[in-house]
Amino acid sequence: MNENSYVTYYTIKKGDNLYAIAREYNINPKLLAAINGIKDNEYIYPNQEIMIPKSGYSYYITGEGDTLDTVVEAFKTNPQDLLEYNKTIYLLPEQIMVFKRNTFN
């Protein structure tokens, strides 16, 4: 299992399925599928690597017509904070956007 700042990379083992992985990591299976660019009922293969979103982060998957302003509004943040967690923003459909919310006031 590899990690970066906002996801953990998980290697599929024989017998795994998306719903069991989602339950193990306490993640919505539809979000898990979307982050990995697959359908929630799609077959996953042994040795395939998927991303598991870490808790404490908010995730947004862009759609057609999204702009930086719509993503900023979705996160209730400002462009500078959004850019801190998303160094390259193309705003392509199905691009994953990440934002870490502060847990203190």
Q: According to the model, what pLDDT value does residue 6 have?
A: 80
Distance CA(69)–CA(80), nearest Å, equals 12
Q: According to the model, what pLDDT value does residue 105 have?
A: 37
Strands 2-3, 7-11: pairing is antiparallel
- pTM summary value: 0.72
What structural domains does the chain harbor? 2-53 (3.10.350.10), 57-100 (3.10.350.10)
Q: 7-22 pLDDT, tens per residue?
A: 889 999 999 999 999 9
Residue 23 pLDDT greater than 50, yes or no = yes
* SS percent in the chain: helix, strand, coil, step 5: 30, 20, 50
